Amino acid sequence: MGEPSFMIRVPGSTANLGPGFDSIGLAVNRYLELIVTPGNKWSFTGQGELQDLPPLENNLIYQVAQKVARQHGHLLPPCHVAMRSTIPLAKGLGSSAAAIVAAIELANQVLEIGLTQQQKLRLAALIEGHPDNVSASLFGGLVIGSHCQEWTDVVRCAAPSVEMVLMVPNHQLLTKQARNILPDDLPFNEAVKASSISNVLVAALLNNDWQTAGKMMRRDLFHHPYRTRLIPELASILQSQDRFPAYGAALSGAGPSIIWFCPLGESQHLAQLLAEQYPHYSFEQLKPDPHGVVVDKASICSF
């Protein structure tokens, strides 16, 4: 890889939207950015949410990039990677998924592998274990996907006409902990009911019917009922939806943040009302990101 350096920008994402568990994702306008330049040895520097970086053996971006290189029969030359991020860590906005997508793109660009979008998606979903966050970060907009060891299929939809408010608590919740609280099985009748709710959510989203989508978020049976054990306020917050000028609310990914969906132009008002009711949370106004991962080779790259 020669000069000049290049920049990779990857959006964060919110996933599930209630009953769309491990399937539905939406890219949001919070970003992980990498500036990659040739180096004599591997080094990473961070700004924003990434000021405290782990050693290389625990660095997700480094490990994933090396894995992609090995899988394609290459050695990845050393690089200096300057990073900054506005995606909060372990708060339910897909920080690890964004890192995985960035790492795959880093290897793709440095080694000129020429990966297709489908190949990137497959790699990312196999590493992450589910397609919702990684596909949103990769493609942008709203994504609906299915993933297992045999396949990964995702349908990308246009970014919806909606704004969001993220309720952020002052504590983190690791995805592993949030997943361990979920049951291994659902009774058949419960699974049918949960699936029908998810189906209506998808139909509502595709028709931009956010009133119905909000109702389906509230009825989720796949993960909200179980994760209330880790987030005690979740049930009461979700039950309070009708008191606010919003379509609905759901855990953002595995949590602990809660994401509210509202009409265009209403996020500031909604955030103010929520802050009055829940002063121990912080609030961020979000919009959908329509682009997904972007690589910039043309401009001079610096933070």
Amino acid at 180: N
| Residue 15 assigned as binding residue | no
| Residue 94 assigned as binding residue | yes
Is 21 strand, coil or helix? Answer: coil
pLDDT digits (tens, 9 = 90+) for 156-179: 999 999 999 999 998 878 788 899
Show contacts of 114-117: CB within 8 Å, 24+ apart.
Answer: none
60 has pLDDT over 80: yes
pLDDT digits (tens, 9 = 90+) for 219-248: 999 999 999 999 989 999 999 999 999 999
| Residue 91 assigned as binding residue | yes
| Residue 27 assigned as binding residue | no
Q: Is the pTM of this model over 0.85?
A: yes
Q: How far is CA 254 from the centre of its chain?
A: 10
What integer pLDDT is reported at residue 300 of this predicted model? 57
| Residue 93 assigned as binding residue | yes
Q: What number of other Cβ atoms are within 10 A of residue 181's Cβ?
A: 13
CA distance 285 to 174: 23
CA distance 163 to 161: 7
Short-list 167, 170, 177, CA closest to 227: 177
| Residue 43 assigned as binding residue | no
CATH H-level superfamily of 163-286: GHMP kinase, C-terminal domain (3.30.70.890)
Short-list 234, 255, 251, 244, CA closest to 277: 244
What integer pLDDT is reported at residue 174 of this predicted model? 79
Judge whether 6-158+289-296 and 163-286 match in fold: no
301 has pLDDT over 80: no
100 has pLDDT over 50: yes
CA distance 32 to 295: 12
Per-residue pLDDT, averaged over 128-135, amounts to 97
What integer pLDDT is reported at residue 76 of this predicted model? 96
| Residue 97 assigned as binding residue | yes
Peptide bond into 4 cis (omega under 30): yes
pLDDT band at 2 (very low <50, low <70, confident <90, very high): very low
pLDDT band at 117 (very low <50, low <70, confident <90, very high): very high
Two tokens, residue 2: 């020669």
Is 95 strand, coil or helix? Answer: helix
| CB-based contact 254:203 (threshold 8 Å) | no
What integer pLDDT is reported at residue 226 of this predicted model? 95
pLDDT digits (tens, 9 = 90+) for 184-209: 999 999 999 999 999 999 999 999 99
pLDDT digits (tens, 9 = 90+) for 27-57: 999 999 999 999 999 999 998 778 788 889 9
What rounded mean pLDDT belongs to the chain?
A: 94
pLDDT over 70 percentage in the chain? 97
| Residue 236 assigned as binding residue | no
pLDDT band at 106 (very low <50, low <70, confident <90, very high): very high
Q: Which CATH number fits domain 6-158+289-296: 3.30.230.10, 3.60.10.10, 3.40.50.620, 3.40.228.10?
A: 3.30.230.10
Domain ranges of the chain: 6-158+289-296, 163-286
DSSP per-residue string spanning 219-250: T--SSHHHHTTTSTTHHHHHHTGGGSSSSEEE
Q: What number of other Cβ atoms are within 10 A of residue 116's Cβ?
A: 9
| Residue 90 assigned as binding residue | yes
